[in-house]
């Protein structure tokens, strides 16, 4: 009786407004930003051991960027008016910056990929006949200069773009976090830590995706997995996952310790309503286990074989991909489970299978980037040219 009586929702608060699609959106943009950072670690910070994944991470970033708007369109009440955000932006809204940030970032990624693949594109144009030749000649923009000097210039531009891309990727994802963090009406979202948490978890998910993709792709191509590359990725992953989880815990610990009014609703939310997805999946399964696994890879490197380290890294990265998705779920859905009354909870949200905002649509949206990557790989290799053919452009 008491529990029921205490549960009071504002009458308009019975509906979950932001569905699985809005969980998916920050997840996808996170993968975009994170994958880009991996590429920049190679291009800007000279981590040459990451060369095997530099191209893959750029193309993965672009592939996911292409579908980033899809969950939003599936969610909007009036998707046909979506372009209003770009045409008539209301600049006091964080969301209005979307068009600009997305547009700039898209151009940046496409130009960088074009420069990286320029040599291959020209070679393809010269080798092919008919439509294919015409197509790749158009993609090459009619410039056929692949002299060493020309590639050196390309390389310098790539470094600049990759460097500019770091703040661009940070803004792209930081702004997604800001969209939640700036909603002062919501006790669970409203924290300046939110953009930072989103940013670090984005990098974590991006690196994790590249680890998984690289290992699968190399196995499929029956190539040798570069142990140094996986080892380096595992180290970065360990660092960023640790930072992410620290920040996530810090937010909760601060709320709990300060015993602010927010904790009156956030406490029961975490303990009762999202205990499985937050404590179980996000924290214990998703954070603690990969932390231990990656710790083994990083700290016990000399005692383990390459194969074993690759297997452990693969498992840890896969779990971290689930962890970041769980984090997005807990923020977006968890933040809507309680009413603005501060003393009531809705029924738990279970996404529908079909429909515009259902599980089927989510799977479709996530599948598209992989199809794009497969298509891309048919013409331009996602993995670098075999050793010995060092390209000045990279």
Partner 1 sequence: MSRDTRRNDFTRRDFLATAAKGAGALGLVVFGGGFAFVSANTVKSRTGETIGPFEYDPTKHEYLYLIDVSKCIGCGSCVRACERENDVPRHYFRTLVERYHVSRHGRVYADSPNGGRDGFDAKDIDADITKSFFVPKLCNHCTNTPCAQLCPVGASFVSPEGLVLVDEERCIGCSYCVQACPYGSRFIHPVTHTASKCTLCCHRLSKGLTTACVQNCPTGARRLGDSKAVGDEVVEIIATSNVRLLKPELHTEPKCYYVNCSQEVR
Contact (Cβ atoms closer than 8 angstroms) between residue 82 and residue 68:
no
101 is a site residue for partner 1 (CB under 8 A): no
92 binds partner 1 (CB under 8 A): yes
Binding track over 169-208 against partner 1, x by CB under 8 A: ----------x--xxxxx----------------------
How far CA 220 is from CA of 35, 210, 214, 253, in Å, comes to 21, 15, 10, 44
Would you say 43 and 352 are in contact if contact means Cβ atoms under 8 Å apart? no
Closest CA to 212 of 324, 292, 302: 324
> What are the angstrom distances between the C-alpha of 147 and each of 151, 158, 260, 328?
6, 16, 64, 47
Is residue 382 a contact partner of residue 40, using CB atoms and an 8 Å limit? Answer: no
Part in contact with partner 1 (CB under 8 A); list of ranges 39-47, 49-57, 72-80, 240-248: 72-80
Stretch that binds partner 1, among 82-90, 100-108, 348-356, 360-368 (CB under 8 A): 82-90
- Using CB under 8 A as the binding rule, whether residue 77 contacts partner 1 is answered as yes
- Stretch of 68-76, 293-301, 352-360, 382-390 contacting partner 1, by CB under 8 A: 68-76
Q: CB count, 10 Å around CB of 226? A: 20
To partner 1, the closest distance from the beta carbon of 79 in angstroms equals: 8
Q: Hey, which bits of 279-394 come out as E strands?
A: none
H or E element that contains 357: none
Binding mask 317-346 for partner 1 (x = CB under 8 A): -------------------x--xxxxx---
The label of the residue with tokens 């950072």 reads 37
The residue count for binding partner 1 (CB under 8 A) is: 44
| Cβ 193 vs Cβ 327: under 8 Å | no
> Which residue lies nearer to partner 1 by CB, 223 or 340?
340
**Choices 13-21, 40-48, 138-146, 364-372 (CB under 8 A): range interacting with partner 1:** 13-21
For residue 78, state whether it binds partner 1 (rule: CB under 8 A). Answer: yes
Given 3, 12, 149, 378, the residue binding partner 1 (CB under 8 A): 12
Query: Whole-angstrom Cα distance, residue 34 to residue 28?
Result: 10
Note whether 267 binds partner 1 by CB under 8 A.
no
Place of tokens 């809705």: 346
Binding site for partner 1 (CB under 8 A): 1-2, 5-6, 8, 10-15, 17-18, 72, 75-79, 81-82, 84-85, 88-90, 92-96, 98, 179, 182-186, 336, 339-343
């Amino acid at each position: 009786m008491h529990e029921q009586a205490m549960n009071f929702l504002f009458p308009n608060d019975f509906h979950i407004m932001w569905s699985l699609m809005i969980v998916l959106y920050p997840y996808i943009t996170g993968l975009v930003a994170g994958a880009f950072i991996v590429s920049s670690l190679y291009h800007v910070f000279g981590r040459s051991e990451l060369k095997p994944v530099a191209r893959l991470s750029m193309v993965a970033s672009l592939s996911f960027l292409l579908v980033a708007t899809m969950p939003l369109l599936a969610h909007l009440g009036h998707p046909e008016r979506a372009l209003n955000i770009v045409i008539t932006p209301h600049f006091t809204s964080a969301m209005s910056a979307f068009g600009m940030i997305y547009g700039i970032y898209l151009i940046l990624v496409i130009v960088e990929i074009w420069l990286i693949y320029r040599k291959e594109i020209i070679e393809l144009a010269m080798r092919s006949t008919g439509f294919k030749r015409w197509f790749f000649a158009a993609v090459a923009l009619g410039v056929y200069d692949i002299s060493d000097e020309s590639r050196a210039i390309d390389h310098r531009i790539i470094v600049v773009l990759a460097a500019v891309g770091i703040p661009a990727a940070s803004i792209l994802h930081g702004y997604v976090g800001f969209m939640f963090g700036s909603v002062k009406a919501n006790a669970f979202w409203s924290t300046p830590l939110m953009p930072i948490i989103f940013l670090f978890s984005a990098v974590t998910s991006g690196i994790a995706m590249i680890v998984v993709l690289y290992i699968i792709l190399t196995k499929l191509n029956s190539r040798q997995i570069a142990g140094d590359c996986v080892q380096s990725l595992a180290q970065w992953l360990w660092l960023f996952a640790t930072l992410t989880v620290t920040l996530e815990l810090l937010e909760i610990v601060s709320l709990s310790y300060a015993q602010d009014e927010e904790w009156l609703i956030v406490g029961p939310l975490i303990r009762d309503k999202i205990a499985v997805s937050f404590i179980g999946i996000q924290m214990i399964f998703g954070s603690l286990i990969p932390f231990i696994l990656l710790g083994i890879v990083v700290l016990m490197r000399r005692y383990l074989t390459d194969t074993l380290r690759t297997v452990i890294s693969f498992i840890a990265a896969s779990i971290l991909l689930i962890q970041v998705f769980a984090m997005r779920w807990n923020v977006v859905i968890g933040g809507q489970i309680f009413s603005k009354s501060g003393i009531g909870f809705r029924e738990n949200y279970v996404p529908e299978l079909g429909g515009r905002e259902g599980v089927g649509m989510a799977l479709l949206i996530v599948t598209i980037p992989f199809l794009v990557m497969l298509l891309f790989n048919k013409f331009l290799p996602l993995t670098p040219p075999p050793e010995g053919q060092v390209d000045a452009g990279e």
